[in-house]
Amino acid sequence: MEDLSLEKIEIQGPTLASLIQRASSSPCDVDGLLFGQIHRIVSTTLSDDSPATSSSSTDQIVATVTSFISSGKTVSFYDPLGRVDSLRVDSLRVNSPDHLLGWFSARRTSPNRPSMRELTVSSSLSSRFQLPIENSVNPNSASSSVFILLTTPLTDQLIHTHEYRAYQFKPLNRRLEPRSLGIVNIGPAFRGHYGSFNPKSGFPELLCEVSSGSSAMNEDRDDEGSSLSGKKQAVKDQKEVDALADGFQVGSLKRLVGVEAASFTGGIEEMYERMLAKVESLASEVEKSSAKVLELDNHNRKLRYRVARIER
């Protein structure tokens, strides 16, 4: 299915907020990549009368933006002609496991219509990248054709400060067609989303108890070999746990399940505390590195200005 039409494009409130925040706090125009998924939502409407048409189900193909990454400038993953460079896309998305849904462009004091370059970038991006459609009847894929445009009005206004529009690139007529941008929230109106919900947890699959059971079953296996692989596994598990909660023993996780669990509240608290400590130390590291990045950024700006002979 080449020319698949999206019913609408949806975005989570916090994602949109942080996208607008990113656009308004950056010193200049920026662009970046949008991640998310495309899924088929089947909504069934039941009615009391006329059994022949008692239920009708409608299929909607909906794109949901779940996250984004900003490049901090324009002409980041494409050239001035708008041709997308796959290598630059890969280096910008930095191993993000999310599917590439499309891209965004944020520019100040300009008309809220796609520009010449934006159209070409959308065309080039959608011809190179694809993502699967979740919940699809037959396994299908769609192109990364979503484009979100953020602008500010031409004249300064007190109330109306930002505008955003969503588009889908249609290869058939080579056009960016406007789509409504829905903001996803909790509530009955968004029930359809739960059907295609996939949990995404960073917590590792730990063998713990199961591992001891399996070694018991495999009696014919060499004991030393088993303990060696068991040790290796334990070290690996410990590493993964360390990534989340520094210094918490992987062995204690065993007690999270089974009969001991009820009396293990203290252990869980310990794990959370260690997780918090880890997050805090990460936060302070991020802060320090952000300061360094800002310093470098300012230095780069000075150099760029000097090259462009801008005096301040």
Catalog residues that contact another protein under the rule CB under 8 A: 24-29, 73-75, 79-82, 107-111, 113-120, 123, 154, 174-175, 301, 304, 307-310, 312
Report the residue number, 100 or 149, with the smaller CB distance to another protein: 149
| Minimal distance, residue 257 CB to another protein, in Å | 52
First CA to last CA distance, the chain: 54
Minimum distance of another protein from residue 111's CB (angstroms): 5
CB of 169 to another protein, least distance (A): 11
Per-residue burial over 228-266, b = 16 or more CB atoms within 10 Å of its CB, e = otherwise: eeeeeebeebbeebeeebeebebeebbbeeeeeeeebee
Instruction: Return d(Cα 54, Cα 46) in angstroms, integer.
Output: 6
Task: Give the nearest distance from C-beta 245 to another protein in angstroms.
Answer: 39
∠ CA 153-108-299, rounded to 5°: 155
Considering the complex, state which of residue 39 and residue 107 has its C-beta at the smaller distance from another protein.
107
Residue whose pair of structure tokens reads 């505008």 in the numeric block: 163
Shortest CB 301 distance to another protein, Å: 7
Q: Is the Cβ of residue 283 or residue 294 nearer to another protein in the bound state?
A: 294
Toward another protein, which CB reaches closer, 8 or 117? 117
Name the residue nearer to another protein (CB basis): 160 or 309: 309
Closest distance of CB 124 from another protein, Å: 10
Q: Among 166, 141, 165, which Cα is nearest to 61's?
A: 141
Burial environment of residue 200 by CB neighbours within 10 A (0 to 12, 13 to 18, 19 or more): exposed
Q: Which is nearer to another protein, 155 or 263 (CB)?
A: 155
Q: What's the min distance (Å) between Cβ of 186 and another protein?
A: 34
Strands 30-46 and 181-184: unpaired
Least Å distance, CB 110 to another protein, is: 6
Q: How far is CA 273 from CA 191, 219, 244, 263, in A?
A: 34, 39, 11, 18
> Residue 178 or 182: which CB sits closer to another protein?
178
